[in-house]
Amino acid sequence: MNASLTPGQTKVDTVKLLINGQWVESKTTEWRDVVNPATQEVLARVPFATVEEVDAAISAGQRAFKTWRDTPIGARMRIMLKLQALIREHSKRIAITLSAEQGKTIADAEGDIFRGLEVVEHACSIGSLQMGEFAENVAGGVDTYTLRQPIGVCAGITPFNFPAMIPLWMFPMAIVCGNTFVLKPSEQDPLSTMMLVELAIEAGVPAGVLNVVHGGKQVVDALCTHTDIKAISFVGSTEVGTHVYNLAGQHGKRVQSMMGAKNHAVVLPDANREQTLNALVGAGFGAAGQRCMATSVAVLVGKAREWLPELKALAAKLTVNAGSEPGTDVGPLISKRAKERVLGLIESGIREGAKLELDGREVSVPGYEQGNFVGPTLFSGVTTEMQIYTQEIFGPVLVVLEVDTLDEAIALVNRNPFGNGTGLFTQSGAAARKFQNEIDVGQVGINIPIPVPVPYFSFTGSRGSKLGDLGPYGKQVVQFYTQTKTVTSRWFDDDSVNDGVNTTISLR
């Protein structure tokens, strides 16, 4: 079934569902165009799956779980080893597709894939990650040990801004723990996600262990309420994440929901000036600001406020262009709607009295005049009541606040409801230790602008940025995707002494 075609096109492919190992053309009547945000070219059409198709995907996962859960750990691990090798082999090809559908630069798209690949590599250590505990002789001849067992069919709902990394946070760890999985990629850019799913099937993931459905709220709600779904992992906006957490929780699911952010970088005047300014510009405007871990607020402390002209000059040098073009620093936003929202928030900043130091609203990119571009935008004179501070802009907009002391900076950050990430730039070990101890944010960088931990540690966003106790990778995610069973055992031989009847709860 072809989409409405743009001039010069002859065919638009449709994105398939994956149900029980089969690539399925959806029977839905509702479709959405996958659009290149730099050119508005329609790349493909994605279906909004029917309730019956979602049910079929979950049923396939339920049937496959009966045998997959008993598959030896070594066999599951070898599939992950094969998958990581395939991702490495095809990463450049996937990055080109990711850049076309999402707008990222090729280099940033490759980074998106690599950060997900790290989690796949960590999944290859499942033999040690899924170990239980054992204590011998807790009472006379009695041993106690724990088993970490899979929980069943799990589901993942992923955002548009990391179509490779976030899916790879989810399904590899879930299935290597012995679960089966239903993935719902972002309907805005599912093509690179589906390429990774194809590689997973090629790596040996059996039919029904990994299933894929596409869609919007109806599909999300179906996953959250279905009896056979045991756990839901979500990454995306605060509004949707709160809805998923509440709805799935009401239906007895385990839920981890990673949501919005307003990440601060606190700059002390003793910081390495050049390195700090480079970090602020890269973390503030890279990926067009469409990162949940983007630095969107710079807090200049004391004499560091004198660095503002240099910050402005450095940001002004960034090249805005299509992600596919060499030398691009800032690509387009994902959609026209996203651009309109960012422009509206910039207007609100001007209206509320902030000083627009650098204006990216009228940027024009030759050859890509229809693209969803907003150039680097910098505000100073920002207060904590302004919308450009209180709302997550999710665009290439950096706002600057000024305070006199580190204590004031810490208090400012801690008052913000979000707690995803923060950073401190300083050369003082004492200041860094004070900051990391007193700051109420889940992930802290010291001279690191985007403190996303490597997969050996857990992603630990907090407060308004996270609902649920456990993070999406690292040791915590093994807990999320398994249930602990504790066994207390005692064995007798024929010559054992009969202890008689014991009516107490103690072990002897």
Cα angle 282, 439, 287 (rounded to 5 degrees) comes to: 20
CB 316 within 8 A of CB 358: yes
- Count of CA atoms in the C-beta half-sphere (13 A) of 323: 27
How long is the chain? 508
Closest by CA position to 121, among listed 89, 154, 83, 163: 83
What per-residue string of b and e applies to 91-104 under the rule 16 or more CB within 10 Å gives b?
beebbbbbbbbbbb
Torsion of CA 329, 332, 334, 336, to 10 degrees: 160
Residue partners of 362: CB distance under 8 A and separation at least 6:
none
Distance CA 170, CA 187 (A): 17
Query: What is the full DSSP assignment across 460-498?
Result: --EETTEESSS-SSSHHHHHHTEEEEEEEEE---TTPPP
- The catalytic residue positions are 292
CB 268 within 8 A of CB 261: no
**Cα→Cα distances 8→5, 12, 15, 41, 273, Å:** 8, 11, 21, 10, 50
Token readout for 421 is 């990430």
